[in-house]
Structure 1
Amino acid sequence: MALWAQPSHAALVHFCWAGSNGYTMTGSMEFPDLLLGADVVTQDEVTRFRIAGFKDGELIGTWDLSDREPNDTWYLRYFPRTMQFPTNGEILGPYDQGWNADGTAADCDEDEFGFNAGNYAQDFCLQGRWIEESGVPPQKPFIAQTTAPTDPACAGPALLSKRRK
């Protein structure tokens, strides 16, 4: 009897983050759909990930997991049941989110973009520099969605949703 490999299925989620002073970010990620009921998904389970940063609707930078260099910061926590990225120490461990930007938000390389969410703020790294004016308070909810954002300003009704309980 021959055994045939079954195709693997991936869950796809999108997000749009609204920072301060016209800074926003859109993105998407995939992970095995078997993890949709898990307590948490980490960077170790994410199979595809990409982000794009904007200032006043103009693209300022991107980062894609497929282009990750060995020294790029990469840690991610995601609650799939509530479609929420934990922020401000909502999860045990030293990190919340570090997407090509560590807690200083100044370690992305020249010509690179990154995002950090920790205990001080949620903010951008651009070309090796912390973009302090992009930051919002660390406890601001960060929710994912099933549809891709159509507005880099994160102005659609689904993108302005409150934290799910």
Structure 2
Amino acid sequence: MRGGPVPIAALAALLALPAQAIELHFCWQGAAGYSMTGTMRFPDALRDAPRIDEGDVTGFEITGWHEGARLGSWSLAALTPQTSWMLDFDPGEMRFVMPGIGVFQAWNADGQVSDCGTPGFGFNAGNGGQDICVDGRFVNESTIHWSTPLRATPEPVNPGCRQNILLSDRAR
């Protein structure tokens, strides 16, 4: 029937369509040959938000590397109530916020960087540094200074962190 009410099934199908999402990639370069690649998705409506936190993220996955060899990975699909999960991102500056007090990024790794599971992989950034957890163990040799910028890009990344733009500035 033309001009009549929208059928309920059509309206339900329209509402079930996914909202536009922004997908960003990032690469962290730690010490001693350790690195991490990742992908994050959040609703397009948050593009101009002052900050995005873990509750805003609709997709997130990270993979750890050592000298180019895969160490492990973690994604939101594995999130449980016991998982350490804290994220602070500035979409305007395309960077993860590293304020310097406490723990400010905890991606399957808490302040002790040892609760990523076995097998498992996680990343932590806090005033003690930025570092990774592999199979329930804090990888101390991966640690870099807490204030090292970690940036995101719409371009895919590789484990060597070599892209068209500088994604993770190493502390000198």
Structure 2-normalised TM-score? 0.86
2:115 pairs with 1:107: yes
Hey, what does 1:159 align to over in structure 2? 166
Match of 1:50 in 2: 61
Instruction: Assess if the C-alpha contact under 8 Å between 1:50 and 1:63 holds in 2.
Output: yes
Structure 1 runs (4+) greater than 2 angstroms displaced: 1-7, 159-162
| 1:24-103 correspondence runs (5 A) | 24-89=35-100, 94-103=102-111
Match of 1:131 in 2: 139
TM-score, normalised with respect to structure 1: 0.89
**Unpaired segments ≥5 residues, structure 1:** none
The answer as to 2:22 corresponding to 1:15 is no
Structure 2: which amino acid aligns with 1:154? C
How large is the Cα RMSD of the aligned pairs? 1.7
Q: Give the match's secondary structure for 1:104.
A: coil
**For this pair of structures, how many residues does the alignment match?**
158
| Residue identity in the other structure for 2:166 | L
The alignment partner of 2:162 has SS state of: coil
Q: Deviations along 1:95-152, whole A, 9 cap, x unmatched?
A: 4100000111111111000000111100001111110100100000110001111x31
**2-structure distance, mates of 1:101, 1:15:** 18
Query: CA offsets per residue over residues 29-58 of structure 1, 9 Å max, x none?
Result: 101110010010000010110000000000
Distance 2:110 2:168 in 1: 27
Residue segments in structure 2 that go unaligned for 5+ positions in a row: none
Is 81-90 or 99-108 further displaced after alignment?
81-90
Shift of 1:160: 4.5
> Which structure is larger by alpha-carbon Rg, 1 or 2?
2
Once the two structures are overlaid, the 10-residue window that deviates more, 36-45 or 63-72, is 63-72
In 2, Cα distance between the equivalents of 1:144 and 1:98?
17
Mapped partners of 2:167, 2:113: distance in 1: 25
Contact kept, 8 Å, 2:87 with 2:104, in 1: the verdict is: yes
CA contact (8 A) 2:120 2:134 kept: yes
